[in-house]
Amino acid sequence: MSEIQEVTKRLLQQNEAIWELYLANQKEQQAFDFYKDMKPFVDAVKETCDAWLLLVIPWVRKDHPTYIGEAQLRQVTDNIQMIAVSAFNGKSFYKHFNDHYQSVEYTLKRVLEKAP
């Protein structure tokens, strides 16, 4: 398995963890400590996003995979970081959150299919 695939799978796992956290907080808003709970969670997602972009941007520029563009990849990292923050607020608008979650998942799965 390539490094791109490994980091992409890690992002998929984080995206799923974000979804689960959102659903749990939607049912019952859980108290959290910003520095103990939220910041490390969001920072871990950002760290993975940064590592992922360093791998996928050169790959896309070199191989030009079908239906995957640089702007789309940057949007994935923006979206996943945004929902990582929003997941702690169970009152976030469901449709908006779900659309971003699914968009991230869709693109990451396309990258997994096409990555070397």
Q: In sequence order, which residues have a C-beta less than 8 Å from that of residue 4 and are 6 or more positions away?
A: 52, 55, 56, 59, 111, 115, 116
CB hemisphere CA count around 80 (13 angstroms): 31
Distance CA 36, CA 2 (A): 33
Task: Write down the pTM of the prediction.
Answer: 0.94
What the block records as the tokens of 95 is: 């449709």
Question: Residues 40-54: pLDDT tens digits?
Answer: 999 999 999 999 999
- Stated as kind and residue range, the H or E segment containing 92 is none
Q: What is the pLDDT of residues 2-41, one digit of tens each?
A: 999 999 999 999 999 999 999 999 888 888 899 999 999 9
Burial of 91 (0-12, 13-18, 19+ CB in 10 A): exposed
Which residue is it, tokens 């590592």? 51
Q: Which two three-digit tokens encode residue 82?
A: 């945004």
